[in-house]
Chain A
Amino acid sequence: MPYQNENDGFEVIVVGGGLAGLAAAYILADRGVEVLVLERGDYCGAKNVTGGRIYLNPVREIFSQLLKDAPFERHIAHEEVSLFAASRSLTLRYDGSELGDPPYQSYSVLRAKFDRWLARQAEKKGAMLATKSRVDDVILENGVVKGVRAGGEELRANVVIACDGVLSLVSERAGLRKDIQPQYYAVGIKEVIEMDRKAIENRFNLEGEEGVARLFMGDVTAGMFGGGFLYTNLDSISLGLVVSIKDLLENQREVIVSDLLERFKQRSEVSLLIKGGETVEYSAHVIPEGGFNALNSLYGDGILVAGDAAGFALNIGVTVRGMEYALASGYYAAQTVLHAREKGDYSRATLGLYRQLLEDSFVLKDFKSFRDALSVLNSPRLFQHYPELLGNILRDLYWIPPGPKDRLYSTVRRYLGVREVWQALGDVRRMSKI
Chain B
Amino acid sequence: MNIVVAMKQIPDLQQVRIKNRKPILDDVPLTFGNIDRNALEAAVLIKEQVGGSVTVVAAGKEGLEDTVKEALAAGADQAYLIICNEQEDIESSISAKLLAEAIKQLGSVDLVLFGEGSGDNYSSQVGSRVAELLDLPQVGYVERIELTAGELVVTRSLEDGKEVVQVALPAVLTVVTDLNQPRIPSVTQILKAGRKPKKVMSDQELLGAVPTPKVKTLSNLAPEIKRKQIQVGTAVELVEKLQAEGFLGRA
A and B touch in the complex (CB under 8 A): yes
Question: On chain B, which size bracket covers the interface?
Answer: 10 to 19
B17 is an interface residue with CB less than 8 A from chain A: yes
Least CB distance from B28 to A in Å reads 11
Least CB distance from B174 to A in Å reads 27
* Contact present for A1 and B195 (CB under 8 Å): yes
Answer whether A280 and B17 are a contact pair too, CB < 8 Å, given A3-B195, A42-B12. yes
B194 is an interface residue with CB less than 8 A from chain A: yes
Alpha-carbon separation in the docked complex, A280 to B17 (Å): 9
* Contact present for A130 and B195 (CB under 8 Å): no
Contacts of A55 in B (CB 8 A): none
Contacts of A151 in B (CB 8 A): 184, 186-187
Residue-wise interface mask of B (55-99) relative to A, using a CB-CB cutoff of 8 A (1 in contact, 0 not) = 000000000000000000000000000000000000000000000
Could you say which of A36, A113, A132, A152 contacts B191, with CB atoms under 8 Å apart?
A36
B160 is an interface residue with CB less than 8 A from chain A: no
| CB closest chain-B residue, reference A135 | B187
The A-B contact count (CB < 8 A) is 37
Question: On chain A, which size bracket covers the interface?
Answer: 20 to 34
Contacts of A36 in B (CB 8 A): 187, 191
Least CB distance from B211 to A in Å reads 35
Least CB distance from A193 to B in Å reads 13
* Contact present for A1 and B194 (CB under 8 Å): yes
Residue-wise interface mask of B (96-123) relative to A, using a CB-CB cutoff of 8 A (1 in contact, 0 not) = 0000000000000000000000000000
Answer whether A3 and B187 are a contact pair too, CB < 8 Å, given A42-B12, A43-B29. no
A128 is an interface residue with CB less than 8 A from chain B: yes
Task: List A residues 39-74 near B (Cβ within 8 Å).
Answer: 42-43
Alpha-carbon separation in the docked complex, A1 to B184 (Å): 23
Give the interface centre of B17, B27, B190 by most chain A CB atoms within 10 Å: B190
Could you say which of A43, A116, A152, A194 contacts B186, with CB atoms under 8 Å apart?
A152
Residue-wise interface mask of A (278-290) relative to B, using a CB-CB cutoff of 8 A (1 in contact, 0 not) = 0010000000000
* Contact present for A153 and B187 (CB under 8 Å): yes
Contacts of B17 in A (CB 8 A): 280
Task: List B residues 22-50 near A (Cβ within 8 Å).
Answer: 27, 29
A122 is an interface residue with CB less than 8 A from chain B: no
Contacts of A6 in B (CB 8 A): 188, 191
| 9 A/B residue pairs, CB under 8 Å, sorted by A | A3-B191, A3-B194, A6-B191, A36-B187, A36-B191, A38-B187, A42-B12, A151-B184, A153-B187
Given pairs A130-B191, A132-B184, A194-B19, 8 additional interface contacts (CB within 8 A): A3-B195, A36-B187, A42-B12, A112-B27, A133-B187, A151-B184, A153-B186, A155-B187
Q: What 5 pairs across the A-B complex have the smallest Cβ distances?
A: A130-B190, A130-B187, A6-B188, A153-B186, A133-B187
